[in-house]
């Protein structure tokens, strides 16, 4: 985009926002500092590199666009390239299945930092933090879709060990990178059809989690651990062990955090409505920002009402230090790097737009019982020139403005992805 036009647009936007009582530069600064954790698994359809080769656990990536990253090196180059298009504080969210074994015979119950050191070195070089996830799927030790609640004691113990290893690895990430490593625990455990003994699986899940979180020398400060709830999965339609009530309840009573994934609720239910409710009782939460269409389809996040509402909730309530924002989607039907660029840019646009809103004026109107003004302000804000501020923000952060990034993605596709 033409630099002069961007500068002109920015001047105009500054005036318009100024008249609405908003300091555009302060808003940009605030939005820029809020970290968004980019999920590594968009780049390779959630397959990982520790030998699984396919995806299970009730989740599914659809599409067969060419260019899936097949090695950790390919994935890192794709992420490096994606990051040239993404402004603002970024972290990378890794799954345990992205371990690099370097020919060693080692399994998930025994992983150490060694299997992730290349990732840490890469993160160090790039000056970014790492988040982490145990991988309770796509593995021969899964008992169907059961892991931590399996009735097979050998398998259950294997997965308990995996959960413990992940906290140890997370602590190493935090130490080496000098920033907390958020770990999300998601287990697909559940039944396709009506479960009768709904209690026993939860008893076992609780016992397993208790063992995983028993080591208090690894603190929630350094390694914030969180439990992700879910309604159902493919082939796990009737009963999910770590349901919403289960996960929230466990987290609240065991000093860990709770993860809200946008795709894990009934289609008309939104996670934006849950953030301030959960934060009444918990210090921090994690988010998996996703976009489900009719089911937990994990579409790339769009700049839609719910994304804006999520970021508004965080910014308007001053929750930026209490909410770990992570993205969680995987689309293989379109260019995977574009998925990162579009989704991450959308998250940042929504954050910026939240910071650009005069929430104080809205809050004041509400407190005074003037709901007419509150509504008018909320609606007016939708057509203020946030796009002009976004372009200026991108320009000053040395990332492509407007849709300029698309051309380089096409070039990368032709030069690199189609050759895979």
Residue nearest to Zn ion (CB): 288
Total residues contacting ligand RNT (rule CB under 6 A)?
11
Rounded to 5 degrees, φ, ψ at 293 are -120, 110
Catalytic residue among 41, 119, 186, 390: 186
Applying CB under 6 A, which of residues 10, 41, 185, 257 lies at the interface with ligand RNT?
Answer: 41
> Residue 37 touches which of ligand RNT, Zn ion, none (CB < 5 to 8 A by kind)?
none
> Residue 156 touches which of Zn ion, ligand RNT, none (CB < 5 to 8 A by kind)?
none
CA distance 314 to 304: 16
Catalytic (active site) residue 186: yes
296 touches ligand RNT (CB under 6 A): yes
Applying CB under 5 A, which of residues 78, 328, 331, 413 lies at the interface with Zn ion?
Answer: 328
Residue nearest to ligand RNT (CB): 186
Rounded to 5 degrees, φ, ψ at 226 are -145, 150
| CB crowding 55-72: b at 16 or more within 10 Å, else e | bbbbbbbeeebebbbeeb
Residues 314-333 that bind ligand RNT (CB under 6 A): 328
CA distance 48 to 393: 34
Cβ atoms of 285 and 279 within 8 Å: the answer is yes
Minimal CA–CA distance to 220: which of 183, 165, 274?
A: 183
Cβ atoms of 183 and 166 within 8 Å: the answer is yes
Residues 250-269 that bind Zn ion (CB under 5 A): 261
> Residue 41 touches which of ligand RNT, Zn ion, none (CB < 5 to 8 A by kind)?
ligand RNT
CA distance 377 to 227: 37
* Alpha carbon distances (Å) from 119 to 76, 162, 290, 294: 8, 19, 24, 35
- Shortest Å, Cβ 177 to ligand RNT: 21
Residues 236-275 that bind ligand RNT (CB under 6 A): 261
Residue 74 or 298: the one with the smaller Cβ distance to ligand RNT is 298
- Shortest Å, Cβ 92 to ligand RNT: 14
Catalytic (active site) residue 56: no
CA distance 228 to 136: 12
CA distance 134 to 136: 6
Residues 163-202 that bind ligand RNT (CB under 6 A): 186
Applying CB under 6 A, which of residues 172, 228, 320, 413 lies at the interface with ligand RNT?
Answer: 228
Q: How remote is the C-alpha of 22 from its chain's centroid?
A: 29
Binding mask 125-154 for ligand RNT (x = CB under 6 A): --------x---------------------
Catalytic (active site) residue 261: yes
Residue 302 or 376: the one with the smaller Cβ distance to ligand RNT is 302
Residue 230 or 348: the one with the smaller Cβ distance to ligand RNT is 230
> Residue 133 touches which of ligand RNT, Zn ion, none (CB < 5 to 8 A by kind)?
ligand RNT
Catalytic (active site) residue 264: yes
Residue 250 or 392: the one with the smaller Cβ distance to ligand RNT is 250
Cβ atoms of 264 and 286 within 8 Å: the answer is no
- Shortest Å, Cβ 267 to ligand RNT: 15
- Shortest Å, Cβ 331 to ligand RNT: 12
* Cβ neighbours for 316, distance < 8 A, ≥ 6 positions apart: 354, 357, 359, 363
Residues 58-117 that bind ligand RNT (CB under 6 A): 59
Element holding 326 (H helix, E strand): strand 323-327
Catalytic (active site) residue 312: no
* Cβ neighbours for 38, distance < 8 A, ≥ 6 positions apart: 79, 82, 83, 86, 90, 91, 92, 93, 327, 340, 344
Output the CA torsion sign for 66, 68, 74, 78: positive
Largest CA distance in the chain: 67
Catalytic (active site) residue 228: yes
288 touches Zn ion (CB under 5 A): yes
Catalytic (active site) residue 328: yes
> Residue 173 touches which of Zn ion, ligand RNT, none (CB < 5 to 8 A by kind)?
none
Q: Give the active site residues.
A: 186, 228, 230, 261, 264, 288, 296, 298, 328
Residues lying near Zn ion in the complex (CB under 5 A) are found at 261, 288, 328
Q: Which residues bind ligand RNT (CB under 6 A)?
A: 41, 46, 59, 133, 186, 228, 230, 261, 288, 296, 328
């Amino acid at each position: 985009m033409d630099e002069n036009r961007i500068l002109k647009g920015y001047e105009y936007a500054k005036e318009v926002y100024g008249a609405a009582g908003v300091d555009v530069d302060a808003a940009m600064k605030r939005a820029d500092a809020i970290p968004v954790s980019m999920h590594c698994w968009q780049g390779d359809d959630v397959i990982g590199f520790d030998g699984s080769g396919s995806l299970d656990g009730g989740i599914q990536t659809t599409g067969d666009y060419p260019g899936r990253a097949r090695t950790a090196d390919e994935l890192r180059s794709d992420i490096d390239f994606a990051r040239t298009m993404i402004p603002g504080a970024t972290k990378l969210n890794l799954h345990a299945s992205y371990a690099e074994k370097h020919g060693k015979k080692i399994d998930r119950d025994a992983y150490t930092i060694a299997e992730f050191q290349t990732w840490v070195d890469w993160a160090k070089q790039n000056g970014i933090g790492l988040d982490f996830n145990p991988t309770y799927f796509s593995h021969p030790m899964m008992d169907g879709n059961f892991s931590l609640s399996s009735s097979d004691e050998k398998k259950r113990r294997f997965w308990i060990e995996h959960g413990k290893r992940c906290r140890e690895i997370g602590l190493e990430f935090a130490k080496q990178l000098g920033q907390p490593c958020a770990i999300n625990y998601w287990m697909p455990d559940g039944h396709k059809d009506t479960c009768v003994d709904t209690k026993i699986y939860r008893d076992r899940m609780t016992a397993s989690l208790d063992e995983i979180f028993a080591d208090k020398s690894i603190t929630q400060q350094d390694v914030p651990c969180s439990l992700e709830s879910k309604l159902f999965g493919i082939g796990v339609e009737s009963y999910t062990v770590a349901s919403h009530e289960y996960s929230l309840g466990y987290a609240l009573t065991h000093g860990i955090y709770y993860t809200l994934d946008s795709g894990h609720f009934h289609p008309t239910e939104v996670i934006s409505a849950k953030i301030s409710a959960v934060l009444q009782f918990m210090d921090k939460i994690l988010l998996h920002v996703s976009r489900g269409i009719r089911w937990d389809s994990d579409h790339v996040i769009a700049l839609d009402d719910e994304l804006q509402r999520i970021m508004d909730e965080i910014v308007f309530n001053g929750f930026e230090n209490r909410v770990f924002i992570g993205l969680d989607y995987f689309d293989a039907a379109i260019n995977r790097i574009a998925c990162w660029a579009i989704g991450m840019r959308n998250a940042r646009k929504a954050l910026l737009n939240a910071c650009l809103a005069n929430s104080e004026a809205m809050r004041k109107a509400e407190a005074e019982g003037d709901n007419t003004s509150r509504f008018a302000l909320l609606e007016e804000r939708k057509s203020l020139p946030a796009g002009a501020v976004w372009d200026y923000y991108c320009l000053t952060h040395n990332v492509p403005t407007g849709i300029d990034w698309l051309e380089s993605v096409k070039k990368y596709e032709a030069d690199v992805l189609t050759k895979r």
